[in-house]
Structure 1
Amino acid sequence: MADQIENYIKGLLNNSTSGTVELQRQELAELFTCVPSQITYVLSTRFTIERGYLVESRRGGGGYVRIARVPLRAEDQVKGWVQEALGDYLSQDAATELLARLGEEGLLTRRERMLLAAAINRNALPLELPQRDRVRASILKAVILTLLRDDFPGEQ
């Protein structure tokens, strides 16, 4: 069910000229014959900043949810997004989502994503939480920002 809801919302976003959609939880819940909390779950797990979405929620008075896809185009914009998405601590799940987003945007190759995923995997970082999440964020930040540098030689 969550996949269907996610795909529906992504379809709406793809068809939107502005890259933004406004939805009502209750209407979506009725459309998918589920409870509004299931819609909230999908929004909070599938439409995160790591995955490249901004979600604004307004309650009451026919409240709505506004979802915007954040395109990564300019180098400064990408670097700012990486800094924001990473922060000081990064869970394995959030890191996986971040790498997938960078791949979708064509900023990392499949090989680069696989290498980074292996390097930051919980099994490769024999530390206790929260230190492991801090080291993971630090590694990803350093490597991704290095790969995005203008003077970094690309694949040959």
Structure 2
Amino acid sequence: MAKLSDIIEDFIKEMFNDSNNNIIFIQRNELADQFRCAPSQINYVLTTRFTYNKGYLIESKRGGGGHIVIKQLEQDSSNMREEIINQSIGSTITYHNAVDILNNLFELNIIIDKEYELMKIAINDRTLISTENRNKIRADILKAMIMVSLS
């Protein structure tokens, strides 16, 4: 049986598919009522499953009933490389955040399964033996791989 978080995530992603648009509007309380959960469960899904690293931008609009805007970021390859390298990766990155970026690139069919698996192996903690600069080394390796994949 799927976890409630997975069900809510799938529902929101289906909203994108149904709208043929890269922006959707939701009301947290209404969605919580629909799934018979606390509004904090909706917040959890939004903050963990719809992050910038995964290709989404969340904006909260207050007043007049309020709503949450979820934007699926455009994936223009000329700007994407720069955005990922400068904004998402930066000078250091954890393994978890790096995998989020790779998952997004894989879901967008920018990298294939084999590239995805190779990149994950290249940046995992066992491969990066040095604990002192592990996240910096991981960021440098990930940047180089993305430069090649998006060129």
TM-score by length of 2: 0.89
Asked if 1:93 corresponds to 2:99, the answer is no
Q: Which residue is equivalent to 1:21?
A: 24
Q: Which residue is equivalent to 2:43?
A: 40
Q: Which residue, 120, 124, 148 being the options, matches 1:121?
A: 124
Q: Which stretch of structure 1 is more off in the superposition, 10-19 or 115-124?
A: 10-19
Q: Which residue is equivalent to 1:2?
A: 5
Q: Where does the alignment leave 5 or more consecutive residues of structure 1 unmatched?
A: 150-156
How far residue 133 of structure 1 moved from its aligned partner, in angstroms, is: 1.7
How far residue 61 of structure 1 moved from its aligned partner, in angstroms, is: 4.7
User: How many corresponding residue pairs?
Assistant: 147
Q: Which residue, 52, 74, 77 being the options, matches 1:75?
A: 77
How far residue 60 of structure 1 moved from its aligned partner, in angstroms, is: 4.9
Q: Which residue is equivalent to 2:139?
A: 137
How far residue 126 of structure 1 moved from its aligned partner, in angstroms, is: 2.0
Q: Distance in 2 between matches of 1:101 and 1:69?
A: 11
Aligned letter for 2:95? Answer: Q
Q: Which residue, 135, 147, 150 being the options, matches 2:149?
A: 147
Q: CA RMSD in A?
A: 1.6
SS at match of 2:16: helix
Q: Distance in 2 between matches of 1:69 and 1:16?
A: 12
Q: Distance in 2 between matches of 1:25 and 1:127?
A: 43
SS at match of 1:39: helix
SS at match of 2:25: strand
Task: Point out 4+ residue stretches in structure 1 off by more than 6 angstroms.
Answer: none
The Cα offsets for residues 70-125 of structure 1, whole Å up to 9 and x where unpaired, read as 131x3212212322221222111111111111112222121111111001001111
Q: Where does the alignment leave 5 or more consecutive residues of structure 2 unmatched?
A: none
Structure with higher helix content:
2
Structure 1 vs Structure 2: percent identity of aligned residues?
Answer: 38
